[in-house]
Amino acid sequence: MNTTRPAPPPLILTCGEPAGIGPELAPMALAAGVPFVWMGDPRHLPAGTNWAEVNTPADPAPAGALPVLRHDFPAPATPGRPDPANAQAVAEVIARAAAMAMAGQAGGICTLPISKQALKQGAGFAFPGHTEYLAYLAGGVEVAMMLASTSVTPPCRVVP
């Protein structure tokens, strides 16, 4: 009897605030060997990032290329200066990733930091942060934010 299970689909790494650290972290995660696809506007990735557009999280990307589920934003990103014009797109990326995960198209999502102030100013964001927004998107289920690190011994996971 064959008990081999197919590999789960990769995680979706949401872009976070395009003017923040999120776009810089995606190539670093790729270099660390984490199986994921990044969802966001590739114009916001660091210059020189090798990326390839994919249509679903399971689509392969060329070796060494960051797989990108493209989500275009209305404005460019200036590091350190969140633009409320991009706020709606930030919220849309989180919602799109959550919907794909709930549909089984992704193994889950990992969210990069957002600018709550820009979201409130530009999109009327009514949530304190990711955690409450994800609970809402999932139909009001109970959720918790987990912080994890594998760079310490032993690996650490904390739910605040």
pTM over 0.85: yes
How do residues 93-129 score in pLDDT, each as one tens digit? 999 999 999 999 999 999 999 999 999 999 999 999 8
How do residues 62-75 score in pLDDT, each as one tens digit? 999 999 999 999 99
Question: Residue 1 — very low, low, confident or very high, per pLDDT cuts 50/70/90?
Answer: low
Question: Residue 2 — very low, low, confident or very high, per pLDDT cuts 50/70/90?
Answer: low
- Determine the Cα–Cα distance for residues 66 and 11; give it in Å rounded to an integer: 13
Beta strands in 15-160 (DSSP E): 36-40, 51-53, 66-70, 109-111, 147-149, 156-158
**Number of CB atoms found within 10 A of residue 38's CB:** 30
Tokens of 83: 């633009």
Measure the CA angle with vertex 47, ends 46 and 53; round to 5°. 75
Q: Look at residue 57 and tell me whether its pLDDT is greater than 90.
A: yes
- Which helix (H) or strand (E) segment holds residue 94: the answer is helix 87-102
